[in-house]
Amino acid sequence: MMSSPVRVRFCPSPTGSPHVGLVRTALFNWAFARHHGGQIVFRMEDTDRERSTQESYDSILDLWRWLGLDWDEGIEVGGPHGPYKQSERGDIYRDVLARLRESSYTYDCFCTNDEVTARRAASGSKMQGYDGFCRELSDEQRSAFEGEGRKPVVRFRMPDGSITWNDLVRGDITFESENVPDFALSRANGDPLYTLVNPIDDAHMEISHVLRGEDLLSSTPRQLALFEALVALGVAKEVPAYGHLPYVMGQGNKKLSKRDPEAHALAYREQGFLPEGLMNYLALLGWAIAADRDIFTVAEMVEVFDIKDVNPNPARFDLKKAEAINASHMRLLSVEDITHRALPFLKEAGVVADPVTDADAQLLELAMPLVAERINKLTEAAPMLGFLFVDEADFERDADDVAKLLDATGRGVVQASYDALAGLHAWSTAAIEEALRVALIERMELKPRVAFGPVRVAVTGKRISPPLFESMELLGRDRSLARLQSALV
């Protein structure tokens, strides 16, 4: 463990929809830094010019803000180690690359991929990667390659022996250098590669701890060897501590890929998840606050988070559990908070006007308590409450529910309900319930589920709705009776 202050980084690539595995990694970095009173640097690794897009860049920032993943230095915040986009740091990379080329840590390589492949095949070697052919070129060989017009790539010379580090999640890990081929730091046109720019950024930004996915573990020996060189050249102060977080697995015990619909983090906001619910669930993908506790806040996570407690085994993404965790966080919110958070979804669905009218606001204030305990995601408010706000000309009933519950028997129940309510003097929840129970349960001797299902479909349009009697009070006498009557046609 390093003696310097904790400094971690978010370093996403703006090349598509943010993956939940990326968010889980960011969350663990964030919790680690906040627990230790450290700092978080947010930079963009946008050197892939063909795939990087402004839309992806903006969506990552939007997602981070929604989740509450704040940062201390970097994109849109600034700081002493900028720029914080790799696309703007070219001069820094070229300077370090030049210093490396002047040292014994690198060498120029003129080989083509086809030549390396042919030599591997001829020797019968099964080892992947470069074979070290250009490690000790003579002046004559070099001149010959240059005479052919070949442009070299810069390769890092892996040291002999073994490379061992104490992984913050997995303990001691050792790679034999003979199994880690020399790797390229630049393209033949001089452009630096990710293998160079990522460690340079970590060095310049004084990153103390690198917490990243298990899929990057095999590249760590290369980064450690390069970091040792950067320290020797005065580019880096220290080598960071590394920790590799477990895979996030999808269905069939396969790594959750971008092709899997549950992988897209932004979709959870669109589906009405709470940021608190999503963050709670992602924290459980490799970590636990206690053996018998699944529900907690990020503040509670920060208070006790220890990277040593992260389980190195793969974690399976379970959408049903994510929804259950989110539902638990919905139960922790006040009705006012749920109303505030659901309002954008209600506007988008056209349930309420935008801006909200006084009448809609008053009705929503009365209606939301009826569904706050019943909805598990914010998107569920619109279909649950829509029947209260819709113009009568646009009111529709679910066709399947009509077929199931408004058959001849069901319409008979609706007719009895209309007759019982038409002459009701006080239109209140209690009075409506009393009238319907007398008419349907006492006189017709129906069971409650049989009695009230047809009424519910007639009045709300669905067999699943907010509490029936309260709904009818809010709907009002005239609209309730009109819907009962229209269900008989």
pLDDT in tens, 366-421: 999 999 999 999 999 999 999 999 999 999 999 999 999 999 999 999 999 999 99
What is the per-residue pLDDT for 1? 43
Q: How far apart are CA 183 and CA 176, in angstroms?
A: 15
Q: What are the residue ranges spanned by the domains of the chain?
A: 1-78+246-332, 96-184, 333-389, 399-487
C-alpha to C-alpha distance for 46 and 116, rounded to whole angstroms: 30
Question: Per the annotation, does 11 bind a ligand?
Answer: no
Match 């959870």 to its residue by tokens: 268
The pLDDT tens digits of the residues spanning 63-116 come to 999 999 999 999 999 999 999 999 999 999 999 999 999 999 999 999 998 999
Q: How far is CA 163 from its chain centroid?
A: 33
- Residue-wise pLDDT tens digits, 287-332: 999 999 999 999 999 999 999 999 999 999 999 999 999 999 999 9
Q: Put residue 128 in one of left, alpha, beta given phi > 0 → left and psi -120 to 50 → alpha.
A: beta
**76: annotated binding-site residue?**
no
Q: In the chain, pLDDT over 70 holds for what percent of residues?
A: 99
Q: Is the pLDDT of residue 61 over 90?
A: yes
Contact 108, 153 (CB under 8 A): yes
Q: Is 426 exposed, middle or buried (0-12, 13-18, 19+ CB in 10 A)?
A: exposed
pLDDT at residue 440 tops 70:
yes
pLDDT of residue 2: 43
pTM (two decimals): 0.92
Q: Is 109 annotated as a binding residue?
A: yes
User: Given this chain, do its domains 1-78+246-332 and 96-184 carry the same CATH topology?
Assistant: no
Provide CATH code, domain 333-389: 1.10.8.70
Distance separating alpha carbons of residues 116 and 124, to the nearest angstrom: 12
On the question of pLDDT at 489 being above 90, the answer is: no
| CATH code of domain 96-184 | 3.90.800.10
Q: Could you tell me which CATH class the domain 1-78+246-332 is placed in?
A: alpha beta
Q: What is the pLDDT of residue 51?
A: 87
The whole-chain average pLDDT of the chain stands at 95
124-146 tens-digit pLDDT: 877 788 999 999 999 999 999 99
R_g of the chain, CA atoms, integer Å: 32
Which residue in the list 254, 258, 321, 447 is annotated as catalytic?
258
Is 258 designated active site?
Answer: yes
Mean pLDDT within 321-346? 97
Overall fold of domain 399-487: Arc Repressor Mutant, subunit A (1.10.10)
Supply angle C-alpha 372, 373, 374, rounded to 5: 95
pLDDT category of residue 253 using cuts at 50, 70 and 90: confident
Query: Which residues fall within 8 angstroms of residue 186, CB to CB, at 6 or more apart?
Result: 97, 153, 154, 192, 193, 196
**Residue 437 in this model has a pLDDT that exceeds 70:** yes
Q: pLDDT at position 3, please?
A: 54
